[in-house]
Structure 1
Amino acid sequence: MGRILSRRRFLNLAAGVTTMGLMPLPASAASPLLHRWSGAALGGPASIAIHHPDPGTAAHLIERCLAEIGRLESIFSLYRPGSALCRLNRDGHLDGPPSDLVVLLSDCVRFSQLTGGAFDVTVQPLWRLYADHFSRTDAPAEGPGRDAVERVLDLVGYDGLLIEADRVAFAKKGMAITLNGIAQGFITDRIAEILQSGGCDSVLADLGEIRAFGTHPNGRAWQIGLADPRATDQIARTLDIRNQAVATSAATGFQFGSSGRFHHLLDPATGTSAGRYAGVSVVARDATTADALSTALTLMPMTEADRVLSAAGGSMALFTDPVGTTQIRKGDLSGNT
């Protein structure tokens, strides 16, 4: 929240890759078939690495990816007045919604149900309340009053999101949604699909969430560096991944005021900011799942993680507490195909 999907710049790529884009590998490890793009997308630095025998085809595929990013952002963005999401929030309904919006909102409801409501895209009125409060020069440091929070909470609840193929609407006037906790993952998955269908058997896409399939061209796994959520310029841990995605949520992604007490990870049950963890990273089969679960698990007891991961298709969650200790929970994927 804040800038569109800016809260996720907590993943950087080890072994030749940084959050600012893919850096050249050492000459001895470089592959002439590994094509790299780095730039800006979705409000932050982004990078794509693909293994393809033909440079012209690789360039064309990357152009297709960038066009698709722009198209999807025109649907999901909170900061483009003409986007489908902005029109829905403004009018309270949207007739003839884009099919991608219907698909993603249906996914949102599914994740809300799997997490007992911890994941809830209807928290946007809460974000607006805190943003308006702290935009005042005389804003009390303790945040909005409890009465104001309670009034806004009446507008929060995923069961008030009415989704049909030809119409999306809110049950109450004043409701609004944000897709900043899932759209980045959804777009990352779409980019991976384009590249895979284009004949790329080795891909690493970093659009704030990371999706990898295949291996690095030299045969090893893709290496992902997880930044310390308390000091994002430092790598705390490196993961090896194949055919998986990684996403991280952390309180330092966007903060209201200067105390650090109020941030974008808002609890739909209490209206307050999550305080259990400094950050949560999730490894899952796809970036949409990793994105949604990393958001939800910041609000949930760690003991719930195994159930949620297993039900949703997540393989691992890493919880870093406020003093920097990290604990790992794993999902049972034996029942998932």
Structure 2
Amino acid sequence: MVSTSTRRRFIGISAAAAGLALLPFGRVAQPHSQTVRWHGRAFGAPTELILHHRDRAEAERLVMQVAAEIARLESIFSLYQQHSALSTLNRLGVLITPPPELVTLLEKSRTVWDLTGGLFDPTVQPLWQAYAQYFSIAASDPAGPSRQKIESALDLIGFDRVIFNHDRIAFAQRGMALTLNGIAQGYITDRIVDLLRENGITSTIVNMGEVRAVGMRSDGTPWRVGINDLDTGPVEGYPLVDRAIATSSPNGFRFGGPGSPSHLLHPRSGASESLYGSVSIVAPEAATADALSTAFGFLTVERISGLLTTLPDTEVHLVRHDGRHLHLA
């Protein structure tokens, strides 16, 4: 039976501390520093925030501000919340006066959709639903839905059929639906980084489902983020300075358990496929890294290398199914 979780990541991201460790103005936490912790959920996954600060009242204020911003953005992008802006759009097929953040995220999605020739496509949601519904039945064939079901879902896919501006978002065909799970966590990570910077934080590493580093560590060295691959084990930590990292793998979610189709669904063939065991993207922003980590799983090494010429300060770490590692920059 399919899990209710839609987490696409197989990763355990390890940084200086669990969750989000904030060191104001680049200072290390001193014995007399106050520690404020917050535990919550974002897009169905647990999230933790740990803030070290000399002023506990200020730390608590900032923690609450971050938590409120996460909740506000989830009320726009979540597929779990019945009355979120995205759920309302999917239910009605049109949204009048949409939240500006939703329009911004659709614009970012369109950029990556163009760049990847449509391989990053948020309108893949009907296909995801076809797989989820199929595997919600106990003892389903691990091969997945029939070709007829897949073809019916593919008829509803195509981001070029989503019409949007700041006044209105509309689908060109009844039954279309969007999922932003392949980019929204990165967008929220970027927004939290902006919020922290606005409040004077100059050295931290933010983990809101995707990871983004701000500045350097207090000793002047880069932050290091390690990716724990379920098949090949831990990967050497990647150095990050004012950059983000996102990872996707077919092992992040499988609809019917080991050996069944994964969440990585090709928007043209409808098949569950990935050319790699994992794809990790290091980029200036988490939203871009998030989206590319999905799309690049469908692209050959040669095509990825070609696209990197148009993506400044971006690198790709691939783990092949046989365990071999490739670094492209």
Same-fold status (TM-score > 0.5): yes
> In structure 1, what is the equivalent of residue 182 of structure 2?
181
1:193-250 superposed Cα distances (whole Å, 9 cap, x missing partner) = 000011111121101100111112232211111111426xx42221111100000011
Between the aligned partners of 2:116 and 2:22, the Cα distance in structure 1 is 40
> In structure 2, what is the equivalent of residue 56 of structure 1?
57
Secondary structure of residue in 2 paired with 1:165: coil
Q: Determine if the alignment matches structure 1 residue 304 to structure 2 residue 309.
A: no
> In structure 2, what is the equivalent of residue 31 of structure 1?
29
Between the aligned partners of 1:172 and 1:227, the Cα distance in structure 2 is 41
Alpha-carbon shift at residue 253 of structure 1 (Å): 1.4
Q: Which moved more, 1:320-329 or 1:188-197?
A: 320-329
Alpha-carbon shift at residue 252 of structure 1 (Å): 1.3
Secondary structure of residue in 2 paired with 1:67: helix
Cα 1:186–1:313, aligned 2, differ >3 Å: closer, same or farther? farther
> In structure 1, what is the equivalent of residue 150 of structure 2?
149
Secondary structure of residue in 2 paired with 1:190: helix
> In structure 1, what is the equivalent of residue 85 of structure 2?
84
| CA-based RMSD | 2.5
Between the aligned partners of 1:50 and 1:112, the Cα distance in structure 2 is 36
Q: Which moved more, 1:31-40 or 1:275-284?
A: 31-40
Letter in structure 1 aligned against 2:193: A
Letter in structure 1 aligned against 2:39: G
Residues 81 and 87 of structure 1 are in contact (CA less than 8 Å); yes or no, is this contact kept in structure 2? Answer: yes
Secondary structure of residue in 2 paired with 1:262: coil
Alpha-carbon shift at residue 122 of structure 1 (Å): 0.3
Between the aligned partners of 2:52 and 2:22, the Cα distance in structure 1 is 14
Q: TM-score, normalised by structure 1?
A: 0.88
> In structure 1, what is the equivalent of residue 120 of structure 2?
119
Q: How many residues align?
A: 322
Between the aligned partners of 2:35 and 2:211, the Cα distance in structure 1 is 17
> In structure 2, what is the equivalent of residue 333 of structure 1?
none
Between the aligned partners of 1:310 and 1:54, the Cα distance in structure 2 is 45
Residues 85 and 98 of structure 2 are in contact (CA less than 8 Å); yes or no, is this contact kept in structure 1? Answer: yes
Identity %: 40
**1:1-337 correspondence runs (5 A):** 6-14=7-15, 16-18=16-18, 21=19, 31-32=29-30, 37=37, 39-42=39-42, 43-48=44-49, 54-230=55-231, 234-313=233-312, 315-330=314-329
Alpha-carbon shift at residue 306 of structure 1 (Å): 2.4
- For structure 2, list consecutive stretches of 5 or more residues without a partner in the other structure: none
Residues 308 and 314 of structure 2 are in contact (CA less than 8 Å); yes or no, is this contact kept in structure 1? Answer: yes
Secondary structure of residue in 2 paired with 1:133: helix
Letter in structure 2 aligned against 1:31: A
Cα 1:116–1:129, aligned 2, differ >3 Å: closer, same or farther? same
Residues 36 and 59 of structure 2 are in contact (CA less than 8 Å); yes or no, is this contact kept in structure 1? Answer: no
Alpha-carbon shift at residue 309 of structure 1 (Å): 3.1
Secondary structure of residue in 1 paired with 2:224: strand
Alpha-carbon shift at residue 62 of structure 1 (Å): 1.9
Cα 1:39–1:322, aligned 2, differ >3 Å: closer, same or farther? same
Between the aligned partners of 1:34 and 1:287, the Cα distance in structure 2 is 29
